[in-house]
Amino acid sequence: MSTLWKIYLGILLVTTAEGGMNIIYPPFLQKLNYPIAEIGVLVALFGVLQLASRLPVGVLYGAAHAKSLYVASLALYIVSTAGYAYDGGAVYVFLLTLLHGLAFGGIGTIALAWAIELSGAHSSHGAAMGWYTAALSAGYSIGNFLSGVMVDHWGYLTAFLALGLAPVGSILLTLTLPSPAGTPSHAASADDNAPRNWRARLAQARRFVTPNLALATLIAFYVNFLDDGFFAFFPLFGLGVGLSLTFIGLLKSIRSLVATGLRPLSGTIFRSIHFTRLNNLLLVAWALVVFLVPEFHSPLALLLIFVVIGVSRGLTRVTSATMIADEKARGVGLASGLYNAGLDVGAFAGPAIAGWLADATDIATMFRTIPVALLIVYFAAAFWVNRAQSRAAAVERIST
């Protein structure tokens, strides 16, 4: 098995566990008699701590730290998942939740950076990111299904133990991998006097946030903001126009299958159309079909809309990750940390802002407003990036 495929399989095992956690954690808390408000806070803490770990781990990423940090994060993830099998009380559950969020955030940041390093030449980045993101989504799908089956047949404690043991395979695979060859994220220059303190290193790293990296992070935010905001309220909209929950679930499954199935083909697709141009087309198509959802309620129309959403979601995750891969020479750990932070913030902000807007107006108006607003922000940022890159190219031509 190649080193890159070991990364894919390792992250698939982790997201299988995480997909299972996403399904069974809230009902587990409800079984322990937690109020709904407290369940919401604890679920949100997963994401908060995940976000908090992104940049520190990205800054620490490098030849001297990545492998040991990855193994430590995996070990912490195993403990903080299987640990729910023990009934230790409210404080215990709270601490496990904090540790779980930190561990998963660190794993995702390191795994993406490491996959980029192992992907080699620029021409292979699209294919590598396609398989990487496919492994992510496939793991979530497997975990979503298996966790429910395990709880129904053997109970929560067995399910948590099984989910916790899955990433043990990730550790075994990681131990066979060579350490990353790249330099730490902050060390984009050859300055031997670079500060050693991690806070100073983080401050220094800000200088290396390029326009391309900023745009890729914005796209990551866009992807999760639109996807999570839309899917948080589409079931309510669907029921309101006479759809069944079975059909709503089918639509979401179709979207997921299309998104996952296309990602391994991205390398071939990028040979026909450059990923930056494709990215623009996908974001416009995605925004357009979400805008049109309130106008089309027939099953066939909605099936076609969700296929477009699946294509857009699936390939946009690859195009944005490929943009991150282009930042390899400047510091892939920092790039991975920022990119994943964009995904995290989008996942928080999407449902919250969509809910506020839907409450102030209605769900249909929210579906029409958010895609247009996101497109305006995106194309304004893309215009700024193009201007910045053109100025940089002009300066380089003059200097040579």
Dihedral over alpha carbons 20, 172, 187, 328 (to 10 degrees): -70
Question: What pLDDT does 194 receive?
Answer: 45
Considering the domain boundaries, does residue 149 fall inside one? yes
Q: For residues 176 and 213, state if they share a domain.
A: no
Q: Within the chain, which residues score under 70 in pLDDT? A: 1, 62-64, 120-124, 181-208, 326-330, 389, 392-397, 399-400
Contact of 325 with 274, CB cutoff 8 Å: no
Place of tokens 């770990």: 53
**Full DSSP string of 168-203:** HHHHHHHHTSPPP-SPPTT--S--TT---SHHHHHH
Among 180, 198, 225, identify where a domain stops.
180
Q: Which pair of tokens denotes residue 146? A: 């298996």
Using CA atoms, how far apart are residues 226 and 299, in angstroms rounded to an integer? 22
Q: How many domains does the chain have?
A: 2
Place of tokens 């330099």: 183
CATH code: domain of residue 79: 1.20.1250.20
- The conformational region for residue 189 under phi > 0 = left, psi -120 to 50 = alpha, else beta, is beta
Considering the domain boundaries, does residue 86 fall inside one? yes
Using CA atoms, how far apart are residues 365 and 357, in angstroms rounded to an integer? 8
Place of tokens 């399989």: 9
Q: For residues 44 and 145, state if they share a domain.
A: yes
pTM of the entire structure? 0.79
Q: For residues 12 and 154, state if they share a domain.
A: yes
Considering the domain boundaries, does residue 139 fall inside one? yes
Q: Tell which residue, 238, 216, 176, has the closest CA to residue 322.
A: 216
Rg from Cα positions in the chain: 21
3-class SS of residue 366? helix
Question: For residue 60, what are the domain limits?
Answer: 3-180
Question: What pLDDT does 84 receive?
Answer: 93
Among 160, 180, 200, identify where a domain stops.
180
Q: For residues 379 and 328, state if they share a domain.
A: yes
Give per-residue pLDDT as tens, 162-172: 999 999 999 99
Q: For residues 48 and 167, state if they share a domain.
A: yes
Considering the domain boundaries, does residue 196 fall inside one? no
Q: For residues 176 and 221, state if they share a domain.
A: no
Give per-residue pLDDT as tens, 35-79: 877 887 888 888 889 989 988 888 887 656 778 889 999 999 999
Q: For residues 296 and 373, state if they share a domain.
A: yes
Phi, psi of 199 (to 5 degrees): -70, -40
- Is 174 exposed, middle or buried (CB count within 10 Å of its CB: 0-12, 13-18, 19+)? buried
Question: What pLDDT does 384 receive?
Answer: 85
Q: For residues 165 and 62, state if they share a domain.
A: yes
217-231 core/surface letters (b: 16 or more CB in 10 A; e: else): bbbbbbbbbbbbbbb
Q: For residues 140 and 237, state if they share a domain.
A: no
Question: What pLDDT does 386 receive?
Answer: 78
Place of tokens 């050859």: 190
Question: What pLDDT does 72 receive?
Answer: 94
Considering the domain boundaries, does residue 226 fall inside one? yes
Report which residue type is found at 376.
I
Contact of 143 with 20, CB cutoff 8 Å: yes
Question: What pLDDT does 184 receive?
Answer: 45
Question: What pLDDT does 335 receive?
Answer: 83
Q: For residues 266 and 143, state if they share a domain.
A: no
Using CA atoms, how far apart are residues 221 and 342, in angstroms rounded to an integer? 5
Considering the domain boundaries, does residue 162 fall inside one? yes
Q: For residues 228 and 298, state if they share a domain.
A: yes
Question: What pLDDT does 396 receive?
Answer: 60
CA 337 to chain centre: 11
Q: For residues 389 and 317, state if they share a domain.
A: yes
- The conformational region for residue 347 under phi > 0 = left, psi -120 to 50 = alpha, else beta, is alpha
Using CA atoms, how far apart are residues 268 and 271, in angstroms rounded to an integer? 5
